[in-house]
Amino acid sequence: MSTPGLPNMPMPPLPTLPSSGFKLSKEHLLVAVPVAVVAAIGGFLVSHYLNRRSCKNCMVNMTISKDSPKVVHSFDMEDIGTKAVYCRCWKSKKFPYCDGAHTKHNEETGDNVGPLIIKKKDA
């Protein structure tokens, strides 16, 4: 190859790099790609599971009175009767009353929340 205005000089030989001996065949790819995909999916699922369990700033109340700036319920002791059981996990379908939804919540999250039980003192 020559350049106009420059003398015709031969190109120096390119240096040869040492070979690592690593060659990837089609058979290797057929094994490596599915293994990599399974590993990536597994890693995603594990990280998703661990993030859900260790979420310190996650919302607890997902559905109850979301239009209100603060959810507060007040009850008079005379209206309770002998015993009242109130939800503290925010998962009850009968909120603010407990329906046992905390059991499933505790199993899924490793939490230990239970209901608030108010009863009249025996005389």
Give the active site residues. 70
Distance CA 81, CA 75 (A): 11
